[in-house]
Structure 1
Amino acid sequence: MVADSDYQIYEAGDVVLQSGATFPSLRLAYKTYGTLNAAKDNVILYPTSFGAQHTDIEWLIGPGGILDSDKYFIIIPNLFGNGLSSSPSNTPVGETPFPAISYHDAIAVQRRLLEEQFGIQKIALVYGWSMGGMQAYHWAALHPDMVERAAVVCGSARCSPYNHLFLDAVKAALIADPAYRNGRFVEKPVAGLRAMGRIYAGWAMSYEFYRDEVWREQGFGSQEDYLAATWDTAFAHRDANNLLTQIAIWQGGDISNCAAFSGDLDRALSAITAHMLLMPGQTDRYFDWRDNERELPKLVHARSAALRPIPSVHGHRAGNPVRIPADRDFIKAQMSSLLQS
């Protein structure tokens, strides 16, 4: 383990991936909050979302917060491809393409971190939004012996065809930039990143958000001002090759895509024994709440299973309401109930 800035690195060594390829010297960046108790049963795992690093999502954590660091030992593992864990931007691969990584690979390394670094065998809660929610679902299905509760916020057990299409559009905008050559970006695709942000703006926020000009609540005088200030620069600070890696992980997301379940999603869902909270955004356009509605009756062995859509016009962003008090209060109330189960 190597201390680096405000986070630490778990050196996983040479890891055989789900694809069969070996990733040499795979590195998992993580940060911890709070104190692990003697019984090692106060653990919350909080994986990162698309393009995000731990600093982008740690606003939920704090004394008395949605994830209470006075009570729980919280670990944020940074997803591969986010620029801190092994990613195209920090991995010298020469002419070799960056290896394809799956959620299954990510969860396998995260489990090694918990067991080898901390001796953790039980997780009180896996909490995640978006790609983090998909990781929470994978954890619950793959390691039911460890996971007591899982909160899937604006996520699903499998990337739906519609969600896949959204990501195809994002990827198409990105790679249309002339900086994309021979399968990778050779320099920063400024126009591609801006185009990606405009596509994201239409999908991430709801019809009602734009119809009712909710962006005015953030102090913008016009829709164009909102888009230019918020979405045109949303991905400007990210490495485009990293984003492509995470898009591929996202599109391949499927809890049943492994030897244990052989693509049988119903069997994978029935393997889950945790208390499950499915919390989609009511107006989320790509993680549609109806995916969770279809999953819910398949959670036949879950200790409990609840579907609690976030009543919000903020679309996908309702699940990450940094500056949306009503959505934040709704999530906090649901999490308090889940943690008492």
Structure 2
Amino acid sequence: MRHLLTAILAAASVASATRVLAQKPTPLAQPGHTVAPIKWPTQDGAYDIPGFHFKDGETIAKLHLHYLTLGTPHRDTAGLTDNAVLLLHGTGGDANSLLAPQFSTILFGPGQPLDITKYYVILPDDIGHGSSSKPSDGLHMHFPQYDYDDMVASQHAMLLDGLHVDHLRLILGTSMGCMQAFVWGETYTTFVDALAPFACLPVELAGRNRMMRYMAIQNIKLDPAWKNGDYTTEPIQGLRGANELLLAMGSAPLQMQKNFPTRIAAEQYVDTYLERTLAHTDANDLVYYINASRNYNPLPKLSTITTPVLWINSADDFINPPELGIAQATVTKMPHAKFILIPISDATRGHGTHTQAAVWKDYLVDFLAQTAKK
């Protein structure tokens, strides 16, 4: 679930409804082209919140939040921060996830949409992820049962009190970060100029989406080696089953068939994937970060999101399949929202298209221009 995500359906066309944008041609990276990584001059930081209160009433003595930043904050004539961009990673990711070259190299360089000589880019480790407070630090299943509301509240406190950022130019969130962007829009209605949620839906996670998450969690909890979270060695069978399911959830059929065209190649990929993920995944952490979406449901308050919204999904997203019709039915509930469905192509990566910046970069450029202060 490092990138919870991806792929199965044939491309579905979007009706040209009022706030649903038809797909216009977007310059894409050449199929198979590998984007060279860049060593970005990140600044490492952390902010501790004493006695953080979670929405369900639980409290933790100290909530530790880690983050990375790029660039320098700037303030407008009114004294508000006017160039800060919050980038929110997906389930199981961390602050480094969006430093991946297919994302950062396309967006952060000179003249690019989020040029770090102009913008102050903030990449947090969410609660339960990376170097921020999480169950595997020692509390195990006694760690507070956080949700997306808690994550957003902690992000807001980190920005305001830790980084002294009192306003955001943009929130761009991928997958889990996409869902958090909708929560931000409803919770802190004037804190941000523009929202860019990529690869999610603004409704309760039910149907197949919740079923897959539930099965991944149960794989771990039903392993006798889990011991109600008090294991000393990882419950490897349950963890393996959960990661196998997450691999299927995040798969893009077009790319899987192209890259692993034989039985041997396909099986070797699975073995390599599991070896890598099992070595770096804690079972309790996985249970928590998958289950953090359990009560997510921004639908009843969508009309309160008055901030401009650029919402992008891809047609081969197995997690958020377009044939559900949810995006087209809900985008009109937000007064200043546009929805774009990216057609399947050799450049899309199913759910993971959210990180393939070359696919949607031009939409972001237009959106930033449209939402710029006049």
TM-score of Structure 1 vs Structure 2, range by shorter chain: 0.7 to 0.9
Equivalent position of 1:324 in the other structure: none
Equivalent position of 2:221 in the other structure: 175
- Code of the residue aligned with 1:315 in structure 2: it is G
Distance 1:232 1:12 in 2: 36
Equivalent position of 2:234 in the other structure: 188
Q: Which runs of 5+ in 1 are unaligned?
A: 256-264, 322-327
Equivalent position of 2:352 in the other structure: 317
**Which region of structure 1 is more displaced relative to structure 2, 306-315 or 191-200?**
306-315
CA deviation digits over 1:104-158, x for unaligned, max 9?
1111121122222333232111011111111111111211211211111112223
Contact 2:147 2:294 in 1 (8 A): no
SS for the counterpart of 2:329 is helix
Once the 2 structures are TM-superposed, how far is the Cα of residue 221 of structure 1 from its aligned partner? Answer: 6.2
Instruction: Tell me whether 1:214 sits opposite 2:258 in the alignment.
Output: yes
Instruction: Tell me whether 1:306 sits opposite 2:339 in the alignment.
Output: yes
Picking from 211, 215, 218, the partner of 1:165 is 211
- Code of the residue aligned with 1:270 in structure 2: it is S
CA deviation digits over 1:86-119, x for unaligned, max 9?
10122x438x711111211111121122222333
- Code of the residue aligned with 2:251 in structure 1: it is M
Q: Which runs of 5+ in 2 are unaligned?
A: 1-41
Higher relative contact order (CA 8 A, sep 6+): 2
Contact 1:81 1:87 in 2 (8 A): yes
The 5 A counterparts of 1:10-49 are: 10-39=47-76, 40-49=81-90
Once the 2 structures are TM-superposed, how far is the Cα of residue 17 of structure 1 from its aligned partner? Answer: 1.2
Relative distance call for 1:232 and 1:54 in structure 2 (3 A) is same
Once the 2 structures are TM-superposed, how far is the Cα of residue 207 of structure 1 from its aligned partner? Answer: 4.1
Percent of paired sites with the same residue = 24
SS for the counterpart of 1:107 is helix
Distance 2:263 2:195 in 1: 37
Distance 2:65 2:163 in 1: 15
Over the aligned positions, Cα root-mean-square deviation in angstroms equals: 2.5
Picking from 131, 149, 168, the partner of 1:123 is 168
The 5 A counterparts of 1:1-341 are: 7-39=44-76, 40-59=81-100, 60-61=103-104, 62-64=108-110, 65=112, 67-90=114-137, 92-93=138-139, 97-161=142-206, 162-210=208-256, 213-216=257-260, 222-231=265-274, 233-255=276-298, 265-266=299-300, 268-289=301-322, 290-299=325-334, 301-302=335-336, 304-309=337-342, 311-312=344-345, 314-321=349-356, 328-341=357-370
SS for the counterpart of 1:20 is coil
Contact 2:353 2:359 in 1 (8 A): no
Contact 1:170 1:199 in 2 (8 A): yes
Relative distance call for 1:310 and 1:67 in structure 2 (3 A) is farther
Relative distance call for 1:182 and 1:93 in structure 2 (3 A) is same
Equivalent position of 2:21 in the other structure: none
Contact 2:63 2:133 in 1 (8 A): yes
Distance 1:83 1:169 in 2: 24
Contact 1:296 1:305 in 2 (8 A): yes
SS for the counterpart of 1:49 is coil
Once the 2 structures are TM-superposed, how far is the Cα of residue 214 of structure 1 from its aligned partner? Answer: 2.1
Distance 1:332 1:97 in 2: 42
TM-score between the two structures when normalised by the length of structure 2: 0.77
